[in-house]
Amino acid sequence: VDTIRIAEDSDIVFDGAAAALPARPGREAVAVFHQPGVGAEIADEIAGGLDEVRTVLHELPDREAAKELDAVGTMYDVLADFNLGRHDTIIGVGGGAATDVTGFVAATWLRGVESVLVPTTLLAAVDAAIGGKTGINRRGKNLVGAFWLPSRVVIDLSLLSRLPEEILREGSAETLKAGLLADPAIVAEYERAGLGADLEVVVPRAVAVKVDVVRDDLDERGRRAILNFGHTVGHAIEILAPLPHGHAVSVGMVAAAVISNARYGFDHRWLTGLLFDLGLPVAAAGVSLPAALEVCQRDKKRTADGIRMVLLRDVGDPVVEVVSAAELEGAMRAVGLS
Ligand SMILES: NC(=O)c1ccc[n+]([C@@H]2O[C@H](COP(=O)([O-])OP(=O)(O)OC[C@H]3O[C@@H](n4cnc5c(N)ncnc54)[C@H](O)[C@@H]3O)[C@@H](O)[C@H]2O)c1
């Protein structure tokens, strides 16, 4: 695959990051927001290739600090000083924090301008930069945001193949999740090679799974919910432990697999082994079970009769079901909460 189309005027392109931006009539200026480190190098390369237009580069704070309101305000200031107009373009380079905040700023600047995202972590490439959800943090993660599709997402597989192991591991939880939901070939590749899974195989496939799910549900009313596999218990653990997102989702997938086993005979031990071999946590001992239940009760996915959770009847066969508090508690105990 070279290109996956998510909507008219929104493509995901597998190519070198420097090739991020095809010329477009009417565009006079480009602002590049980038993370420190690798993001800065790529931003320089991109700007170097844009000799037809005015460019400005701005370095974001690293990680979640980029999604704080004062940092967002500085981004608007940069755009105002630079006089970025309605027909101009904003590029975001970095992990999911950078792509989330850049997407948000593009969605809101002048009520919406073109954005291009260049994800540099595995998690951002298969998840954060795909699907048009943008967000910033205020009194909680991603409570402020907008749906805004980038005109293109550029995924540089050779860049991702040089990622530090820890960043690769974190992103592998969401990549494997895509396989569990809808593509056994991703799962097979992780079974074959663990963290050494061929990114040329798993990344385009995981992107295709997410695109397929969100394409007809861009504002998240229906089927998009299956992407929350592992995220009910995972979200609680992410907050309470706290653990990095991918690690928390790993534990959350085990918890969901335990309920899937009780209901449908899904082999939760097999999944636990697969995650363990990736070096991902499969339990979160020390996290308070009552506190985790409390977080789940407050969750957006709650309904009147229980908590809606994504379960697996089999690999490639997810269902969204209401589970009781007792079932949820049992699954939490199974992953070490007490
Ligand atoms: N919008 C969505 O649908 C969606 C989905 C999932 C996650 N997210 C968001 O994504 C964010 C997490 O993204 P993340 O895991 O990419 O973390 P991140 O953006 O915080 O980056 C993690 C670290 O990796 C570094 N880094 C980035 N690229 C690198 C590279 N090529 N080599 C070495 N280091 C590199 C960064 O500088 C940073 O220190 C969260 O804010 C989360 O809310 C959004």
The pLDDT of residue 299 is 72
- Using the mean position of ligand 1's atoms as its centre, give its distance from the Cα of residue 136 in Å: 13
User: What three-state secondary structure class fits 113?
Assistant: coil
| CA atoms within 13 Å, Cβ hemisphere of 96 | 23
pLDDT > 80? residue 304: no
Query: Active-site residue numbers?
Result: 111, 133, 174, 210, 220, 224, 228, 231, 235, 245
Average pLDDT, the chain: 95
Q: Average pLDDT for residues 208-219, to the nearest whole number? A: 90
Q: What is the pLDDT of residue 140?
A: 87
pLDDT of residue 301: 61
Structure-token match 């997938």, residue found? 253
Q: Radius of gyration over alpha carbons of the chain, in Å?
A: 20
* Predicted local distance difference test score (pLDDT) of residue 60: 98
Going by pLDDT thresholds of 50, 70 and 90, the confidence category of residue 298 is confident
Ligand 1 mutation target, pool 63, 149, 154, 175, most atoms within 8 A of CB: 63
306 CA → ligand 1 middle, Å: 32
| Atom of ligand 1 lying closest to residue 167 CA | 24
pLDDT at 302: 65
DSSP summary character for residue 60 = P
Q: How far is 238 from 218, CA to CA, in rounded Å?
A: 25
Residues sharing a CB contact under 8 Å with residue 247, sequence separation 6 or more, in sequence order: 170, 173, 280, 281
Residues in the chain: 338
Question: Closest Cα to atom 2, ligand 1: which residue?
Answer: 128
pLDDT digits (tens, 9 = 90+) for 145-198: 999 999 999 999 999 999 999 999 999 999 999 999 999 999 999 999 999 999
Q: What ligand 1 atom has the least distance to the C-alpha of 63?
A: 20
| Banded model confidence at residue 300, pLDDT cuts 50, 70, 90 | low
What's the pLDDT tens digit per position in 98-128?
Answer: 999 999 999 999 999 999 999 999 999 999 9
Please state the atom number of ligand 1 nearest to the C-alpha of residue 103: 1
- C-alpha to C-alpha distances, 169 to 11, 15, 186, 250, nearest whole angstrom: 26, 23, 15, 10
d(CA 270, ligand 1 centre) in Å: 28
In this prediction, residue 221 has a pLDDT band, given cuts at 50, 70 and 90, of: confident
Predicted TM-score of the model (pTM):
0.96
CA of 96 relative to ligand 1 center, distance in Å: 4
Q: What are phi and psi of 26, to 5 degrees?
A: 100, -20
**Closest C-alpha residue for ligand 1 atom 10:** 96
Give the residue, out of 34, 101, 121, with the most ligand 1 atoms within 8 A of its beta carbon, to mutate for a pocket test: 121
Q: Report how far ligand 1's centroid is from the alpha carbon of 94 (Å).
A: 7
Closest CA to 205 of 190, 185, 223, 225: 185
Which of the listed residues 33, 35, 138, 239 should we mutate to test ligand 1's pocket, taking the one with most ligand atoms within 8 A of CB? 35
Cα–Cα distance for residue pair 62/157, rounded to 1 Å: 22
Q: State mean pLDDT over 79-88.
A: 98
Q: Is the pLDDT of residue 220 over 90?
A: no
Q: Provide the pLDDT confidence category of residue 211 given band limits of 50, 70 and 90.
A: very high
Give me ligand 1 centre to Cα 52, in Å. Answer: 30
Question: How confident is the model at residue 20, as a pLDDT?
Answer: 73
Q: What are the Cα distances from residue 309, in Å, to 104, 130, 245, 299, 312? A: 28, 22, 18, 11, 10
Which residues sit with their C-beta closer than 6 Å to ligand 1? 35, 37-38, 62-64, 67, 94-98, 100, 120-121, 123-124, 127-128, 131, 133, 135, 141-142, 159, 163-164, 167, 170
CA nearest to 66, candidates 146, 131, 121, 142:
142
* pLDDT over threshold 90, residue 52: no
